[in-house]
Amino acid sequence: MSIAQNLLKIKSSLPSTVTLVAVSKTKPISDLMEAYDAGQRIFGENKIQEMADKWEAMPKDIEWHMIGHVQTNKVKFMAPFVSLIHGVDSLKLLEEINKQAKKNNRIIDCLLQIYIAEEETKFGLDEEELNEILHFVQNDKEGLENIRIVGLMGMATFTDNQEQIKKEFTHLKSIFDYLDTKPKTLNLEPKTLSMGMSGDYPLAIECGSTMVRIGSSIFGGR
């Protein structure tokens, strides 16, 4: 099937409450344009330079999501245009995003990445670190007015064990529900739970995902 066919098939299977991020990392602009022409306007990349190059080359009504691990010194290259940063995993990074957003006269939406997998290689915050960040965000409103925490992101363990994946997604959903009990402030407005990729997105949706990040099922293997 073509990219457009893959995309439309996946889109028609998603509940209306779930947003699709088409993960286009490593793929050429011609592939992205095929998805664009089929109606897709949200693309996810995991390298800042590659995302910036594609942003420059492509139509300006696209929302670009950074889904990869972010190095603090590269935030400035995406601050002018990025619409959602999924992988925020430290206060230091959040402060840098705030600084660069301010320079660009913007408010940048962020998701805090939570560590839910049983793999040492994955990034993310544990619950204690999450609470530290929330405490800071809620008590230092003046300082962080150019970021907005709009939810959480997580990646399940890469395994065929559906029970384990389900357990991890359910855990993340419970943290999301906890976040929702916090008083809303200008920079804390949780609404998005980013979980689910090509291999596990139906299960993620069952567990409460509101945003899925799908690459290979749309664009083919990498």
Ligand X SMILES: *Cc1c(COP(=O)(O)O)cnc(C)c1O
CA 198 – CA 28 distance, rounded (Å): 19
- Under the binding rule (CB under 6 A), the answer on residue 20 touching ligand X is no
CA 4 – CA 11 distance, rounded (Å): 10
- Binding-site member from 6, 24, 40, 46 for ligand X (CB under 6 A): 46
- Under the binding rule (CB under 6 A), the answer on residue 213 touching ligand X is yes
Q: How far is the CB of 153 from ligand X (least distance, A)?
A: 8
- Under the binding rule (CB under 6 A), the answer on residue 198 touching ligand X is yes
Nearer to ligand X, 87 or 190 (CB): 87
CA 174 – CA 103 distance, rounded (Å): 35
- Binding-site member from 162, 177, 216, 220 for ligand X (CB under 6 A): 216
- Under the binding rule (CB under 6 A), the answer on residue 157 touching ligand X is no
Nearer to ligand X, 70 or 144 (CB): 70
SS (H, E, C) 142-180: CCCCCEEEEEEEECCCCCCCHHHHHHHHHHHHHHHHHHH
Which residue of this chain has its Cβ atom nearest to ligand X in the complex?
215
Q: How far is the CB of 94 from ligand X (least distance, A)?
A: 18
170: alpha, beta or left? (left if phi > 0; alpha if psi -120 to 50): alpha
- Under the binding rule (CB under 6 A), the answer on residue 199 touching ligand X is yes
What are the beta bridge partners of residue 194? 153, 211
Q: Which of 53, 49, 44 is nearest to 24 (CA)?
A: 44
- Under the binding rule (CB under 6 A), the answer on residue 154 touching ligand X is no
Nearer to ligand X, 15 or 221 (CB): 221
Q: How far is the CB of 21 from ligand X (least distance, A)?
A: 8
Q: Are the C-beta atoms of 182 and 188 separated by less than 8 Å?
A: yes
